[in-house]
Amino acid sequence: MSNIEKYFVRGFIKFLNKQIQEKSAEQAESLEVAVQCLESCFELNQDESTNSNPLNNVDLFELFINTYVTVNPERKSEAEQLKNDGNRLMKEEKYQEALNAYGRAIGLDATNPVFYCNRAAAYSRIGEYQKAVDDCNQAIRYDPNYGKAFGRLGLAYSKMNRHQEAIDAYKNAIRIEPDNQDYKNNMEVTQQRLEEQQQSGSVPNLGNLGAGLGGLGGAAGGIDFAAALNNPALVNMATRMMTDPSIQNMLGQLSGMNNVDALLETGRQLAMQMSSENPELFAQIRQQMMDQTGEPGADGTQPPSEPGSNPDPKGN
């Protein structure tokens, strides 16, 4: 058990001890039993609770009030600046740093749904789709008519192959923003995937993958993906990877896609998986593609954005 957990529990016990003084005798007795149980369960002792560490004197209830109930203008302003920092870091593809910035913003003002929605976009960028779902749902709790949160919720569910839940989220997004074509396109694609899943549960083959990526042409920066996938070494590597459930999920997401941005993002994640599987081979193939296109590659290009995954800079 970590000391951090002990400090947190002591903070909660501090709150309970204050409540004991304000409650009736029967209620106070119940709270005293709760305090004793917590002290026993978390192996707390009096000597540790009186040391000079400032974490022993955190007022959790005050933090809760200041962060979740009544946020003063200064905290709101600082949180907004941190959100803007997170947006900038997202554009720079520094997704972990963006997560930290959004998290600090939430720590100052946990009532702003935009902060959760933007952090969901960052979680999606690093493949943490369940955390993206959790943040989207929290944003929706604060603002039930937040269309972008429903849109990102749909994307996250789709990435997890939870297609029916994704469709439900897209329906809500379209209800709120009926003119948003991205939501309509993504829902149509997700419906196709759900139907395919229900009918056969099959995973598309490598030929379909190559054709799908190759067909992007100029939208993919001019790289001939179909030719790259004809590389025998890459095909062998990809064939071995077909037994990996995470790769099967990605390939399943590519089937029938007609949204270029979403397709490119899924392809990018697939490339990352392949790079992890065999970095030397992937580096050779990447160099071949750069030689074909004459483009500078990662240092000189920006990745495509998922529909609805860009940070919300204006807070609406």
Cα–chain-centroid distance for residue 53? 34
Which is nearest to 133 in space by CA: 109, 160, 167?
A: 160
User: Is 50 exceeded by the pLDDT of residue 142?
Assistant: yes
Report pLDDT for 294. 46
Burial class (CB in 10 A: 0-12, 13-18, 19+), 12: middle
Cα separation, 89 vs 92, in Å, equals: 5
User: Is 90 exceeded by the pLDDT of residue 275?
Assistant: no
Q: For 33, which DSSP code?
A: H
Determine the residue type at 58.
V
Asked if the structure places residue 201 within a domain, the reply is: no
**2: pLDDT confidence band, cut at 50, 70 and 90?**
confident
| Mean pLDDT calculated for residue range 218-239 | 52
- Pick the last residue of a domain from 14, 39, 58: 58
Asked if the structure places residue 281 within a domain, the reply is: yes
Report pLDDT for 54. 86
| pLDDT tens track for 276-292 | 666 676 666 666 555 54
Report the share of the chain in percent with pLDDT over 90.
Answer: 53
Asked if the structure places residue 119 within a domain, the reply is: no
| Mean pLDDT calculated for residue range 236-254 | 57
**120: pLDDT confidence band, cut at 50, 70 and 90?**
very high
Which is nearest to 113 in space by CA: 135, 87, 86?
A: 135
- Pick the last residue of a domain from 24, 42, 58: 58
Report pLDDT for 299. 38
Asked if the structure places residue 26 within a domain, the reply is: yes
**What residue numbers bound the domain in which 13 lies?**
3-58
Instruction: Produce one character per residue of 199-222: b if its CB has 16 or more CB atoms within 10 Å, e if not.
Output: eeeebbebeebbebbbebeeebee
- Pick the last residue of a domain from 32, 58, 84: 58
Asked if the structure places residue 235 within a domain, the reply is: yes
Determine the residue type at 66.
N
Contact 41, 89 (CB under 8 A): no
Residues 6+ apart with CB under 8 A from 259: 182, 185, 186, 189, 307
Report pLDDT for 55. 86
Asked if the structure places residue 83 within a domain, the reply is: no
231: left (phi over 0), alpha (psi -120 to 50) or beta: beta
Report pLDDT for 50. 60
Asked if the structure places residue 92 within a domain, the reply is: no
Q: Where are the alpha helices (DSSP H) in the chain?
A: 3-22, 25-41, 46-49, 60-64, 73-91, 95-108, 113-125, 129-142, 147-159, 163-176, 181-199, 206-214, 225-229, 232-241, 245-254, 260-277, 279-293
Contact 164, 194 (CB under 8 A): yes
| pLDDT tens track for 37-49 | 999 999 988 766 5
| 25-34, 86-95, 153-162, 291-300: least confident range | 291-300
Number of structural domains in the chain: 2
**257: pLDDT confidence band, cut at 50, 70 and 90?**
very low
Residues 6+ apart with CB under 8 A from 93: 302, 303
Asked if the structure places residue 152 within a domain, the reply is: no
Where residue 10 sits, what CATH number does that domain have?
1.20.5
